[in-house]
Amino acid sequence: MIKTDILIIGAGPTGLFTVFEAGLLKLRCHLIDALPQPGGQCSEIYPKKPIYDIPAYPEILAGELTEKLLEQCKQFQPGFTLGERADTIDAQEDGTFIVTTNRGTKHQAPVVAIAGGLGSFEPRKPPIPDIANFEDKGVEYMIREPEVYRDKNVVIAGGGDSALDWSIFLTDVAKSVTLIHRRNEFRGALDSVDKVQELKNEGKITLITPAEVKGIIGNDHVTGVEVHQSGEAPFVLETDHFIPLFGLAPKLGPIANWGLEIEKNAIKVNNALDYQTNIPGIYAIGDVNTYPGKLKLILCGFHEATLMCQSAYKRIHPDKKYVMKYTTVGGVQGFDGTKKEAPKAVVKKIE
Amino acid sequence: MSDITITITDREGTTHEIQAPTDMAMNLMEVVRSFELAEEGTIGVCGGMAMCASCQCYIRSGHELPEMSPDEDLMLAEAFYVEDNSRLGCQIPITPDLDGLEVELAPES
């Protein structure tokens, strides 16, 4: 069981800044995110795109913002459960909550802050008839265990980085790799496109473009896919695995069943006070919440995180007196023993 | 500034005739959101960067639209339910010459 003061669901910019604000109050944080890396949308969808409305940054790349937020909060030693989705929440008699992920990891905290953005990122599933019946029977939407594909025939569909990168990687593992894409052009990084070209020339990757998989063949396991190539009659390609890699899309997912008040795919909160939900002790901050006048902006998430932490402090330490201290005055004392503080003024007499 | 009339068929098949402003630097995805014709969180997920295809729509009228950028073209190459008349709403700015435009929202995916 992982125990912490504030359990943050979602490691995007709002969740990461929460670690900093909580740390100033000497509260420890642990973050859960379905993605394998922190940053949320900023690292998953648009790391190379600029943002212009972060205060004091005339321009900053989304990926860079993530790095700076991690740097800013690192002395507060946040814990991470990455690549796992928060699935269930159970209120305990002592007022704490236990949150369990899809992989069974359990976390306990007196305060839960949902900073889940638009939800957890799930693979986009192509609308191919019967595809659901073949899930984990030869159809996989993400590659968890590359060894599964050793000496197997693999068909990958998609035109982005993950389709290209996994095609390249699996040439060393699988018996055969076929990449199918609806265009001759690929959206992925140039290096990867060049590498696939090279592997194609060496005969290590079979490229079928412009084409689309429109059917899956097999009884209790995939044995082939039906390929529709532009200008050709549809044909069946024998394969052991079909891996559609069409990127990820956020879905509110299991959080929708936590008993929270939901409106327009977002969690209703009290914005007059502390961004608490209808369940005391559970807060929602950043893009995942809604209230009159809500704006889904990173800078609004920062503000909401800051106020939420004050309320969390009072919940965790109901009897303690507390006044907010400016970091310039109080400095920043990390849990790792580091200390940042304003330099002391030098006093020197004039003789 | 003048508004233009756009006919939008939502994902449930209901058709709406709406007045869209041409002086607000809006795009078609934003118009759909401002009139709440698709559920919040299911359209414009990437915010309008041609990086998610959640605003895919089918153009039903013969209007001449701005040419597709490579970004939009390649995003549509990975989208689902794509037809010859598919476009990403976020890449279509609302301009006076789009008066009378007819579009249908593609299914959520």
B3 vs chain A: nearest CA distance in angstroms?
25
How do the domains of chain A map onto residue ranges? 2-122+249-340, 133-246
Q: pTM score, two decimals?
A: 0.85
CB neighbourhood size of A231 (10 A): 6
pLDDT over 90, % of chain A:
83
CB neighbourhood size of B101 (10 A): 23
User: Is A250 within 8 Å of B40 when comparing Cβ atoms?
Assistant: no
Q: Which residues pair with A250 in a beta bridge?
A: A121
Q: Is the dihedral of CA A209, B103, B52, A140 positive or negative?
A: negative
How do the domains of chain B map onto residue ranges? 3-105
Biggest CA-to-CA distance, chain B: 37
pLDDT of residue A230: 86
In this prediction, residues A145-158 reach a mean pLDDT of 95
In this prediction, residues B45-71 reach a mean pLDDT of 93
User: Is B109 within 8 Å of A124 when comparing Cβ atoms?
Assistant: yes
- The CATH superfamily label for domain A133-246 reads FAD/NAD(P)-binding domain (3.50.50.60)
* Residue A91, phi then psi, degrees to nearest 5: -75, 135
Q: In terms of CA atoms, which chain A residue is nearest residue B107? A: A127
Q: Can you say whether residue A43 is alpha, beta or left, with left for phi > 0 and alpha for psi between -120 and 50 degrees?
A: alpha
- What's chain B's average pLDDT? 94
User: Which of A49, A127, A264 shows the shortest C-beta gap to B40?
Assistant: A264
pLDDT digit string (tens) for A3-21? Answer: 999 999 999 999 999 999 9
How many CB pairs lie under 8 A apart between chains A and B?
60
Find out whether A191 and A238 touch, Cβ atoms under 8 Å: no
pLDDT digit string (tens) for A281-302? Answer: 999 999 999 999 999 999 999 9
On chain B, the residues whose CB falls within 8 A of the CB of A247 are: 52, 78
User: Which of B51, B81, B109 shows the shortest C-beta gap to A45?
Assistant: B51
Q: Rounded CA gap, A24 and A17, in Å? A: 11
User: Which of B39, B70, B77 shows the shortest C-beta gap to A181?
Assistant: B77
Q: Which residues pair with A249 in a beta bridge?
A: A122
B53 vs chain A: nearest CA distance in angstroms?
10
* Residue A45, phi then psi, degrees to nearest 5: -95, -45
Question: Does the pLDDT of residue A200 top 80, yes or no?
Answer: yes
Q: Rounded CA gap, B108 and A237, in Å? A: 29
Fold of A2-122+249-340: FAD/NAD(P)-binding domain (3.50.50)
Query: Helical H runs in B10-93?
Result: 28-34, 70-76
For an interface test with B, the pick among A51, A182, A184, A294 (most B C-beta atoms closer than 10 Å) comes out as: A182
User: Is A265 within 8 Å of B39 when comparing Cβ atoms?
Assistant: yes
Find out whether A34 and A85 touch, Cβ atoms under 8 Å: yes
Q: In terms of CA atoms, which chain A residue is nearest residue B40? A: A264
Q: Is the dihedral of CA A163, A169, A170, A171 positive or negative?
A: positive
Strands (E), A97-174: 97-101, 106-109, 111-114, 120-123, 153-157
pLDDT digit string (tens) for A106-134? Answer: 999 999 999 999 898 889 999 999 999 99
Fold of B3-105: Ubiquitin-like (UB roll) (3.10.20)
In this prediction, residues A230-241 reach a mean pLDDT of 94
How would you classify the pairing of strands A6-9 and A29-33? Answer: parallel
In this prediction, residues A190-213 reach a mean pLDDT of 94
ipTM: 0.82
pLDDT digit string (tens) for A306-318? Answer: 999 999 999 999 9
On chain A, the residues whose CB falls within 8 A of the CB of B78 are: 158-160, 182, 187, 246-247
> By C-alpha distance, which of A91, A75, A66 is closest to A16?
A66
The helix or strand, by DSSP H or E, that contains position A301, with its residue range, turns out to be helix A298-316
pLDDT of residue B1: 61
Q: Rounded CA gap, B44 and B48, in Å? A: 6
pLDDT digit string (tens) for A88-104? Answer: 999 999 999 999 999 99
Q: Is A163 helix (H, G, I), strand (E, B) or coil?
A: helix
pLDDT digit string (tens) for A258-276? Answer: 999 999 889 999 988 999 9
In this prediction, residues B33-37 reach a mean pLDDT of 95
Interface of B with A (CB under 8 A): 39-42, 45-46, 49, 51-52, 54, 70, 73-75, 77-78, 80-82, 109
Q: Rounded CA gap, B67 and A204, in Å? A: 37
Q: Rounded CA gap, A237 and A244, in Å? A: 15
Give Cα B85 distance to the centre of its chain.
Answer: 12
Question: Does the pLDDT of residue A164 top 80, yes or no?
Answer: yes
In this prediction, residues A167-177 reach a mean pLDDT of 96
User: Is A185 within 8 Å of B77 when comparing Cβ atoms?
Assistant: yes
pLDDT of residue A322: 85
B97 vs chain A: nearest CA distance in angstroms?
30
- What's chain A's average pLDDT? 94
